[in-house]
Amino acid sequence: MRLLMLGGTEFVGRAVVEAALARGWEVTVFHRGRHEAPAGAVSLLGDRTAEGGLDALAAALDGEWDVVVDTWSGAPHVVREAARLLAGRAGRYVYVSSCSVYRYPGAAGSDESYPLVEGDPDADAVAYAEDKRGGELAAVAEFGAERTVLARAGLILGPYENIGRLPWWLRRVARGGPVLAPGPRELDLQYIDARDLAEWVLDAAFAGLHGAYNVVSPIAHTTMGEFLEACVAVAGSADVELRWTEPSVIAEHGIEPWMELPVWLPPGELHETMHQSSTEKAVAAGLRARPVAETVADTWAWLRSIGGVAPQRPDRPVVGLAPEKEAKVVGA
């Protein structure tokens, strides 16, 4: 198999490239040159947002691939321009989208048939959900429904994370002392390890799948308790203590779920939307989700290997709770 990865030097794209290389695939990575591509991949340099940014891709002498994988999350027209260029040179287009394309609020157990937000394949950037939906429509417009896979990911964690969610928890636990642990402890979490997402994407391409799939772990794959206890197991200092706190207390102190306490959403509408999507279709197509302890341990090992400071995407806000704000809740 010959893979063209649009991006491929960070987080999900890098996981896809490494998984493909491990399978012995021929891999070409089209990227801006800000980071090195994994060893063994052929690099083509260009900025998709710039005038003439696709020139290197257009001029590639060996420019035919079995599959293109695209993780773009900005202006939909950028997806359409790349897909239009590649429609006659690649067999299949896998667009890594998001479960955010479903209308809010979600419903517990909803599947790929749930109503979608509006999207425009020719639009500039509007908002994350609309941009991802526009990207889906752009890919389908150029490759056709039978040659397009829409991999709608949920929360993505794992090594190379450049959003900061799991790295923040690991660093916080490593700092020690009483840790604000948002409850309830048995609250279920749904996420996908970037490496499991990558393996499914490659399997889907190889199998010739098409259409939309919710690519995230099964509902109740793990719990908030198991997640934080896994962090403590690998990164916790001797004096670390999880202080489980009711959602009402967290709300009283003005702490924002998801942003200040990454991954966590209190029971209710937001939680059902983010952590309770049906993944039966993707599981039937071979999706496997590794245990949370493995995701956490491998992310901690990667974080330590780069000096403990995770990369941060410039287009995403920094997440995490300020120590003084946490101390007030823990003290109360």
User: What is the predicted pLDDT for the residue at 63?
Assistant: 82
User: What is the predicted pLDDT for the residue at 75?
Assistant: 98
User: What is the predicted pLDDT for the residue at 181?
Assistant: 98
* Together in a domain, 182 and 108: no
* Together in a domain, 46 and 112: yes
d(CA 300, CA 150): 30
Indicate whether 285 belongs to any domain.
no
* Together in a domain, 148 and 170: no
Q: How far apart are the first and last CA of the chain?
A: 58
* Together in a domain, 167 and 90: no
What is the per-residue burial (b if ≥16 Cβ within 10 Å, else e) of 126-145? beebbbbbbbbbbbbbbbee
User: What is the predicted pLDDT for the residue at 332?
Assistant: 75
Domain count, the chain: 2
* Together in a domain, 241 and 308: yes
* Together in a domain, 229 and 245: yes
User: What is the predicted pLDDT for the residue at 261?
Assistant: 98
The whole-angstrom distance between residue 201's C-alpha and the CA centroid of its chain comes to 13
E strands, 33-185, are 42-45, 65-70, 90-98, 148-153, 156-157, 178-182
pLDDT in tens, 42-72: 999 999 999 999 999 999 867 899 999 999 9
**Domain CATH for 67:** 3.40.50.720
Domain around 249: 162-189+220-276+291-331
- Ranges of residues in the chain whose predicted pLDDT is under 50: none
Query: If you ran DSSP here, which 8-state letter would residue 7 be given?
Result: S
pTM: 0.97
Q: Centre a 10 Å sphere on the Cβ of residue 62 and count the other Cβ atoms it contains.
A: 9
The whole-angstrom distance between residue 199's C-alpha and the CA centroid of its chain comes to 13
